[in-house]
Structure 1
Amino acid sequence: MIKKLFLNLTIVVPGLAEILPEIISTDNTQFPFLKKLIKKAIQKQVNIYSYEALLLNLFGFSQSESRDVPIATIMYPWDKGKPQPQSSWIIRADPVHLRPDRDELVLFGSHQLALNQTEAQELANHIIPLFTEYGWNLEVLIPDRWYLILPQLSQVNFTSLSEVEGKYISAALPTGVEKSRWCTLLNEIQMTLYNCPTNKKREEEGKLSVNSLWFWGAEKSPAVLAPSSWDTITTGKEPFAQALTSYSNIPYQILAEQDIGDRWIEQLDIPGNHLLILDQLLLIKDQPSELYQALLHLEEHWFSVLYKLLQKRPFTQLNLYPLGSYYYSTNWSQTWYFWRSFKKYRTLL
């Protein structure tokens, strides 16, 4: 039995925004409760497009006008298990695949590469000399999360990897006073990786080669604008949310495999504001068949449960962030707005 504790629940479902228009604009009958959560909600503009930037915002951190996010300073201690070196500047230098498309290059990230640690270190060993001549250190802490440690800041601006995945890179290349240096370095990295034996082997196995790195995550440590308003935080498997809570010294729990909507909600024994991150779609966003099955799972075990509970008033407010231009806010009374339609949402997602 769910207690009426006046719960405010915020749900982040990264990866949902990309498939939401198709679900709403078709006669698909397999997602009735997701449709209702959108249909009955008040649609509010958010103007935050990357997963990392959204979480930083929800955690109360300041946001710069840069297209980058301070992921390196947050993730490095998490991946390394100890603080970053003092008097150093750390950026991410993640392995990627660039594919020609007409006169442009499209970027494919770690989800498509599926590197193991041995491959990652072999690839890194081929390009480490390009960094050591500058006195820089490249560390492969996780197969798809590499870090470049520099003694001082560089006058350059980068673009978040999540903003450029699956897109042309020309508008996202380094900018700033020292952009030429970094673009030249990227070209040298690409030429060095071209003949790497590890890449040859991957191509023979039908895998994408790692033919470049993507520099990003170089923003300074973010400032906290306000204390955390979350009474509980539950994350999925995606590591950034876990690293951010650790960086913020906020207690959190990881959603267990067996935890589904009603079981998880039964554990909420305090009123207040609760943040839930359902990252299943983000982790398989490049696998269409699995993506659809994961969405069906969310519909059956989360969206249906949450909508029915919203009608019974355990929640005073439910906010759904699909990671797009808008988020959707619903309260008890709105679930009974039978006259609401999808018409106004079809062009705004």
Structure 2
Amino acid sequence: MHLTLLVPGLLPEWSARLAPPPRAPALRRLLARGRWEAGTEPLDAELFRRFGWQGGSEPPVAAVSAAADGLDACTGWWLRADPVHLHADLHGVTLHPLDAAPPTPEEAEALASAFDRTYADEGLHLLTPAAGRWYLRLEAPVELSTTPLDAASGRDIHRLLPRGRDAAVWNGRMTEVQMLFYGEAVNIARESRHLPIVSGLWLWGGGAWPQRGLRAPAAGVYAAAPVARGLARAAGLALNPLPRGFDDWQRAAAGERSALVVLDALQPAAAAGDAGAWEAAVGALERDWFAPLTAALRRRTLRALTLASCGAGTLELRAGELWRFWRRAPAASRFAG
């Protein structure tokens, strides 16, 4: 069995400065013994690459995740229009996702109604099937080059706004939406409860449903991430739910020659720079995945491991290489033994 793990948020840049580093001896050993290749894509782009998508510079994240969220995404041209909080100060306007305090279904419905009243004459309707993933479905493509939400998180949006032939129109709409949402009753209520208001929408991930050209990246795919679920559907591949840990996965995957597992529990804390939450999530992955995985490599019931950090490199490790004590990859120093 060859197991591929995608673990976004495993090695955020700021984790190198933690003192002391979180204790994760099995993960430390895996990182130290493996062969590292520099450069990996963020999670969504990495998933599209592994599913064989070759359609252009920006993968159609919106259409694929919309399908995973229960929308009929097989026709039309889709944009993610995710709710965000924008903080303005003397240095610019910083974008913050609303992962910690997402809009409730009632708040989403109220803001979507306000949007629809304003833009219905232009044929635009805001779809809000999931707390942090909102969508626009267009009849025709638009020419926009956009920045994924994760890449914009915590940064000044000035240089990250959509670019391209249609950018002026859509950036104008984004500014209008900020003014529209600011005075809505749901935002006034959120502010009174000391919650970040829904300042606006972040547009990204535009494209149409991938009709052909995808392939299965492994015999089995196990994930909760919406893009992984949508890509599995587009590739005609059965998607398995994410198991609670390695042992449960190994039982579920019995007989498979290869598997792709997406472990995205670290991603929100890594993006937010929340060291406490990140360390707690590292501890849970160490207990549930990395420690039993290391034991399986030692017993050779697992033949090989690929671990992609989705941003800081990819590790390749075969069962017989765990004993190569002379290897000391720098990434291992992020964790204590």
1:110-149 to 2 correspondences below 5 Å:
110-149=98-137
User: Shift of the alpha carbon at 1:93?
Assistant: 1.2
TM-score (norm 2): 0.89
State the alpha-carbon separation in 1 of the partners of residues 247 and 107 from structure 2: 42
Once the two structures are superposed, residues 154-185 of structure 1 have per-residue CA deviations (whole angstroms, 9 ceiling, x without a partner) of 22222221221222212210111121111111
Residue 275 in 1 paired to residue 260 in 2? yes
**What RMSD, in angstroms, separates the aligned Cα atoms of the two structures?**
2.5
- Which residue matches 1:77? 67
The answer as to whether partners of 1:97 and 1:210 remain within 8 angstroms in 2 is yes
Structure 1 unaligned residues grouped into runs of 5+: 1-6
8 A Cα contact 1:318 1:331, kept in partner = yes
Task: Give the share of equivalent positions with the same residue, in percent.
Answer: 25
> How far 1:320 sits from its partner (Å)?
0.7
2:11 is aligned, of 12, 17, 40, to: 17
**1:3 aligned partner:** none
Structure 2 residue matching 1:96: 3-state secondary structure: strand
| Residue in 1 that maps onto 2:81 | 93
For 1:255-270, list aligned pairs within 5 A.
Answer: 255-256=242-243, 259-270=244-255
- Return closer, same or farther for 1:65/1:293 CA change in 2, 3 Å cut-off: same
Q: What's the offset of the Cα at 1:301?
A: 2.1
Q: Does 1:43 align with 2:36?
A: yes
Checking the alignment, whether the CA contact within 8 Å between 2:116 and 2:126 is kept in structure 1 is yes
Pair 1:311-2:298 in alignment: yes
Aligned residue type for 1:135 = G
Higher mean alpha-carbon deviation, 151-160 vs 33-42, is at 151-160
The separation in 2 between residues aligned to 1:202 and 1:61, in whole angstroms, is 40
The amino acid that maps onto 2:50 is: L
- Identify if the C-alpha distance between structure 1 residues 336 and 27 changes in structure 2 by more than 3 Å, giving closer, same or farther: farther
Please list, as runs of the form range in 1=range in 2, the aligned pairs for 1:189-228 lying within 5 A after superposition.
Answer: 189-222=177-210, 225=213, 227-228=215-216
Check whether the contact 2:115–2:125 (CA below 8 A) recurs between aligned residues. no
Contact 2:29 2:332 in 1 (8 A): no
Shift of 1:112: 3.2
Contact 1:61–1:226 under 8 Å retained in 2: yes
Task: Count the aligned residue pairs.
Answer: 332
Q: Secondary structure at the match of 1:149?
A: strand
2: CA distance between counterparts of 1:101 and 1:17?
29
Q: Using the TM superposition, name which of 195-204 and 71-80 deviates more.
A: 71-80
- SS of alignment partner, residue 132 of structure 1: helix
1:297 alignment counterpart: 284
Q: Which runs of 5+ in 2 are unaligned?
A: none
Alpha-carbon shift at residue 206 of structure 1 (Å): 0.9
Distance of 1:335 and 1:27 partners within structure 2 = 25
**1:277–1:344 Cα change, 3 Å:** closer
Counterpart of 1:167 (choices 155, 158, 162) is: 155
8 Å CA contact 1:12, 1:277 repeated in 2: yes
Following TM superposition, by how much is the alpha carbon of 1:223 offset from its aligned partner in structure 2, in angstroms?
6.5
Asked if residue 62 in structure 1 is aligned to residue 54 in structure 2, the reply is yes
Classify the secondary structure of the residue corresponding to 1:249. coil
Amino acid at match of 1:144: G
Equivalence for 1:181: 169
The offset of 1:17, in angstroms, is: 2.1
Q: Provide the C-alpha distance between the structure 1 equivalents of 2:284 and 2:16, rounded to a whole number of angstroms.
A: 18
The TM-score normalised by the length of structure 1 is 0.86
Counterpart secondary structure, 2:206: coil
Name the SS of the counterpart of 2:12 in structure 1: helix
Match of 1:327 among 314, 318, 321: 314
The alignment partner of 1:16 has SS state of: coil
Q: Which residue identity lines up with residue 26 of structure 2 in the other structure?
A: F
Compared with structure 1, are the counterparts of its residues 125 and 181 closer, same or farther at alpha carbon in structure 2 (3 Å cutoff)?
same
Deviation at 1:124, TM superposition (A): 1.9
For 2:45, the equivalent position in structure 1 comes to 53
